[in-house]
Amino acid sequence: MGQRLSDSDASFLYMETASGPMHISSVYVLEGELPFAEVFEHFAERIHLVPSYRRRLAQVPFNLAHPTWEDDPDFDLANHVLEHRLPPGTDLQAGIDAAVELNEPILPRDRPLWRFHVISGVPGRTLILQQTHHAMIDGVSGIELTTILYDFDAKGGNRPPPPETPWHPDPVPGPLERVTRALRDNLEKARPSRALDMLPTTEDQRHLLARAARVIGQFLTRPVITAPFNAGLVGPERRVRYLKKPFADIREIRRALGGTINDVVLAVVSEAVARYLDSHGENTESQYMRIMCPVSVRTEDQAGALGNQVSAIFPVLPAWPMNARQRLNAVCAETDRIKADQEAQALALMTQSQSPIWPVALAPTQLVGTPFDPTALAARLPHPTLPGFGWRPPNIGFNFTCTNVPGVQVPQYLCGHQVTDTLGLLVLTGNIGFSLTILSYNKALYFTFICDPHLLPDLETIAGAAEAAFDELHAEARERIESLAS
């Protein structure tokens, strides 16, 4: 029997549009030029280790309940591990740009929601674009997935044994059975005991819900600046730039100047955005920015499970440029307040306590990805933006997402070729035309900036400002260490 999507997982299907695909992606840069046939064979040997990769969505007629994951009777690995050849001599950045362009369309919903693109043409390098829908994984489970699909030594020492028996897909339930199961599951959800489970039962839970209500209320009572990349709806195009910094430098900054690794990251990123706004003549005086930072609430017993186990915090930071050290102090003060108020736990509890989503109200989302998809037409039309001069209305949402995903700290290999760099590609949707993924891998930290070039045509400016802010923090840290040593 198939597994029904949770409210959290299904929400990523309902939010998806042609301009805002909801798959989580990474670009892996490998050392050497790797033949496609070897990669294909590598995944053919391991596909049985990831059963969800052979399951596709089964929609319920009339959207009476969330879809279920069912075995795909037509599963063909050739639909998911794909070859792309670029002109010989393509440089690395152009190769990454090509991967980003491949990542722009939504994944076909009539197949399992993942793909691996093997990209050749960059001398001495092979690029892998890995795509998996957010309905299947979050950032942490995505990293766990790489430990199955990639090796930890060049000789492939953790090569898995073949499956004990050949795979035979379970039959996909017909429309009538899907409706029957949906009605049964809906009745189960509607049981009074299930409804009572959503109510707070302790004083601590009631206090947490009150804190969550205050956090949500501040979106209205404390609006933030509307940045240029929030001045319109996101279109389908994407652009990416990245920075790579030694993890040892991050630790050095943290030890010398205080805060956590996340605080250092937020200081670099928020200062980069503040300098970008200032360089574009935005009025940042007495203005603030709000950042969405996803937080994993995955427990030890959920390790290795796919799906989404996340909450979020929303630090509010000055939108005007500052000295890098002052910026770090401001970030530490804000994150310390958020931790003391247990905002991540409060928002997670609020989410759990909410009434379930009734899918029937979201039936039109079943058209996404079909020939009748209204969002595909909208994606082809030019999107208006608010003018870049004068007054913009205040922003009652957040400005951008900054997600920090801890990766593996040793080299990984694919078919004997080392992964040299890993770049995370974040989802953009609504009016969030810029965001970034922070990903650690093999003793380095990667800042990967992604944008809609229609809303943010000069992404290099933010990337350059982030590098400058990082270098300033590192210089201050080294100066403090030297002063303490003398």
State pLDDT tens for residues 370-416: 888 888 887 887 777 777 655 688 889 999 999 988 888 899 999 99
What are 331-381's pLDDT values in tens digits? 999 999 988 877 777 777 666 665 566 787 788 888 888 888 888 887 887
When pLDDT is averaged across residues 90-101 and rounded to a whole number, the result is 97
In this predicted structure, which of 22-26, 292-296, 402-406, 422-426 has the lowest mean pLDDT?
Answer: 292-296
In this predicted structure, which of 142-146, 169-173, 446-450 has the lowest mean pLDDT?
Answer: 142-146
When pLDDT is averaged across residues 45-71 and rounded to a whole number, the result is 91
CA-wise closest residue to 274 among 239, 333, 317: 317
What SS3 class is residue 301?
Answer: helix
The confidence score (pLDDT) of residue 221 equals 83
Does 287 have pLDDT greater than 80? yes
In this predicted structure, which of 71-75, 129-133, 183-187 has the lowest mean pLDDT?
Answer: 183-187
The confidence score (pLDDT) of residue 360 equals 79
In this predicted structure, which of 84-98, 242-256, 289-303 has the lowest mean pLDDT?
Answer: 289-303
Residue 297 pLDDT grade (very low, low, confident, very high; cuts 50, 70, 90): low
When pLDDT is averaged across residues 125-135 and rounded to a whole number, the result is 94
Share of the chain above pLDDT 70, in %: 88
The confidence score (pLDDT) of residue 299 equals 44
Would you state the structure tokens that stand for residue 68, as one six-digit string? 């279920």
When pLDDT is averaged across residues 259-276 and rounded to a whole number, the result is 96
The confidence score (pLDDT) of residue 195 equals 46
What sections of 122-163 are H helices per DSSP? 139-149
- In sequence order, what are the beta bridge partners of 119? 84, 127
In this predicted structure, which of 273-277, 299-303, 436-440 has the lowest mean pLDDT?
Answer: 299-303
The confidence score (pLDDT) of residue 227 equals 95
CA distance linking residue 74 with residue 143, whole number of Å: 28
The confidence score (pLDDT) of residue 18 equals 93
Angle at alpha carbon of residue 265, lines to 262 and 269, rounded to 5°: 140
When pLDDT is averaged across residues 58-78 and rounded to a whole number, the result is 93
The confidence score (pLDDT) of residue 264 equals 96
Output 32-38 pairs: Cβ under 8 A, ≥24 positions apart: 32/124, 32/125, 32/126, 32/417, 33/120, 33/123, 33/124, 33/125, 33/126, 34/118, 34/120, 34/126, 34/414, 34/415, 34/417, 36/83, 36/118, 36/120, 38/415
The confidence score (pLDDT) of residue 352 equals 63
When pLDDT is averaged across residues 143-171 and rounded to a whole number, the result is 80
| Model confidence, pTM | 0.89
Identity of the highest mean pLDDT range in 114-123, 134-143, 192-201? 114-123
When pLDDT is averaged across residues 54-65 and rounded to a whole number, the result is 92
Angle at alpha carbon of residue 10, lines to 4 and 16, rounded to 5°: 145
The confidence score (pLDDT) of residue 389 equals 58
CA-wise closest residue to 334 among 463, 476, 448, 215: 215
Does 423 have pLDDT greater than 60? yes
CA distance linking residue 446 with residue 240, whole number of Å: 12
What are 184-237's pLDDT values in tens digits? 888 887 665 444 455 556 676 677 777 777 777 787 888 999 999 999 999 999
In this predicted structure, which of 222-236, 291-305, 375-389, 432-446 has the lowest mean pLDDT?
Answer: 291-305
Does 60 have pLDDT greater than 80? yes
Rg, C-alpha atoms of the chain = 23
Share of the chain above pLDDT 90, in %: 59
- For the chain, give the number of residues: 486
When pLDDT is averaged across residues 243-248 and rounded to a whole number, the result is 95
Q: What mean pLDDT, rounded, does the chain reach? A: 87
What are 467-486's pLDDT values in tens digits? 999 999 999 999 988 888 77
